[in-house]
Amino acid sequence: MELTPLQKARYEYNPKLPGMLRHGISEICVKEGAQTSSAADQEKIQALFPNTYGKKEITFEKGSNTSTPKKQVVGVILSGGQAPGGHNVVCGLYDALKATDKENVLYGFKGGPSGLLEDDYIIFDDAYIDQYRNTGGFDIIGSGRTKLETQEQFAVAAEVCKKHGITAIVIIGGDDSNTNAAVLAEYFAAQGTGVQVIGCPKTIDGDLKNEDIEASFGFDTATKTYSELIGNIERDANSAKKYWHFIKVMGRSASHVALECALETQPNICLISEEVSAKKMSLSQIADQIADSVSARAEKGMNFGVAIIPEGVVEFVPEFSALIAEINELLAGSKADAFNALSNWKEKYAFIEKGLSSEAMAVFAILPETIQQQLFLERDPHGNVQVSLIESEKLFSALVKDKLEQRKAAGTYHGKFNALHHFFGYEGRCAFPSNFDADYCYSLGYNAFMLIQYGYNGYLSKVSNLSKPAEEWVAGGMPITKMMNMERRHGEDKPVIKKALVELDGKPFKYFEAHRAQWAEETSYIYPGAIQYYGPASVCDITTRTLALEKGE
């Protein structure tokens, strides 16, 4: 494979570690903190995790290493969707493991958790690892979405670990993957296998976050990548002066990506799903809000603009959620076959009209026909509407167009409205990691091995103080159970890591809220440009606006 000059240079980049991890393995000691309890439902979580609940938070400091020396054979798994920096977690883990003892071994289980169950692996060496340093993607071993959650799976995992003499498993994933890591850690402890499990916080969505985890890895790179593209579109809009661009960005359950991109680029409109939910906004109200901006800008001769739409926003509109629930019921069981047997959309529409309540039908009727049909595309494995297939950017531009035509008929709007549509998702998941993500991920992997070396189980690798230079970052670990609560999943109460949504009283949203009226009417665009890897730290190592605002910077 021929390398570009940038690829060659990135392979040679030396990620920055937190100060206390730079002393050499023999000079890193543990400082224990207070015992922990779960985020909620303490008694239930404790009952489910009797061997791993209530452990102490720890931080690493300079001092004599008091861990018991032993050969470590570690397995690593990439789980879930890709996020920039995942390769560096593996590289940091490998480097710490080899720096401790050249005889230590790192297994990479292929294709996600299924690789562990199927005993499909690679044993890493220097030559293989060096091909992936500071690169995007998860192609070093691949990823997958198999969940480790049944006793049968745990038993197979234990057998595979025993076969290879594996002493620890590192699971790199999001909230569900790290929930699975905690359950696997409890199983290994209860069975006395001696195998430790350590998690690493990954997701570009930014929703694996709390008082301990300041940022999930990949969020920095993905939002900078999207913001570069959004800034380019803003500049094009401001040049052509004749298009409204509706841009959907990733973020199914939370709007952290949309909010960060708005803070970086200052578009005219950015919807925040959590606000839509809190205010119980209707589709009509949202369309009016956008139409107000279009109209106000048209009054100033500006028939162009940019609107950012979170991927999952329609799920937060109460009337739309009710419509989805009715459609799921309408097509339950054999009724789906009857619907699919109809030969054309006219017949299907009549079937829908007969089966929905008048309230749901009122919502359905205002949707553009393309969106109506998307609601009846292939169902998910549970027989439900696949909301991710709904082109919400096209939905809102169509609703806004209708609003503007009504206003034009009433003589209150005289502008022109031409909409263009974009979806930025996969473009950001495997981007070359920013210096921040390259450093953060390498530190998470290096730190994960320190947790293994000191015998911790059911812990998440934790690096904090992230808005400061890497030298001032603090490395340590926290019990995964600390982040858990009980939620209803598929008819059962399950222990899960609590998703972090955008906080409407948080500083990032408050800053956005204070400025959005101005951005809606004026052209206040920021063009952030491409991610920079070389040059002054003030250019290359900057963190997200979200993190800076949260830390008061």
CATH code for the domain in which residue 370 is found: 1.10.10.480
pLDDT (mean) for 165-183: 96
pLDDT (mean) for 253-270: 97
- Asked whether residue 287 falls in the same domain as residue 402, the answer is yes
pLDDT digits (tens, 9 = 90+) for 407-443: 999 999 999 999 999 999 999 999 999 999 999 999 9
- Asked whether residue 36 falls in the same domain as residue 112, the answer is yes
SS3 119: coil
Whether 495 maps to a domain, the answer reads no
Q: Are 218 and 85 in contact (CB under 8 A)?
A: yes
Domain interval for residue 117: 18-218+433-489
Q: Are 236 and 194 in contact (CB under 8 A)?
A: no
- Asked whether residue 70 falls in the same domain as residue 147, the answer is yes
pLDDT digits (tens, 9 = 90+) for 35-91: 999 999 999 999 999 999 999 999 999 999 999 889 999 999 999 999 999 999 999
- Asked whether residue 98 falls in the same domain as residue 138, the answer is yes
pTM: 0.95
- Asked whether residue 484 falls in the same domain as residue 401, the answer is no
Count of domains forming the chain: 3
Whether 417 maps to a domain, the answer reads yes
Instruction: Give the CA angle between residues 187, 191, 196 to the nearest 5°.
Output: 60
Q: Are 253 and 544 in contact (CB under 8 A)?
A: no
Provide the CATH number for the domain around residue 88. 3.40.50.450
- H or E element at residue 299: helix 283-299
- Asked whether residue 190 falls in the same domain as residue 283, the answer is no
SS3 20: helix
Torsion of the alpha carbons at 88, 90, 95 and 97, rounded to the nearest 10: 150
Residue 541 CA to residue 526 CA, distance in Å, equals: 19
Q: For residue 388, is pLDDT > 80?
A: no
- Asked whether residue 364 falls in the same domain as residue 469, the answer is no
C-alpha distances out from residue 283 to 313, 383, 431, 512, Å: 10, 25, 34, 21
Whether 7 maps to a domain, the answer reads no
Q: Are 447 and 477 in contact (CB under 8 A)?
A: yes
Whether 446 maps to a domain, the answer reads yes
- Asked whether residue 241 falls in the same domain as residue 214, the answer is no
Whether 319 maps to a domain, the answer reads yes
What sign does the dihedral 303-308-312-316 (CA atoms) show? negative
Whether 545 maps to a domain, the answer reads yes
- Residues that are catalytic: 205
Residue 443 CA to residue 435 CA, distance in Å, equals: 12
Q: Which of 336, 368, 390 is the last residue of a domain?
A: 390
Residue 55 CA to residue 185 CA, distance in Å, equals: 13
Residue 186 CA to residue 179 CA, distance in Å, equals: 11
Q: Are 465 and 456 in contact (CB under 8 A)?
A: no
Q: Which of 451, 469, 489 is the last residue of a domain?
A: 489
SS3 15: coil
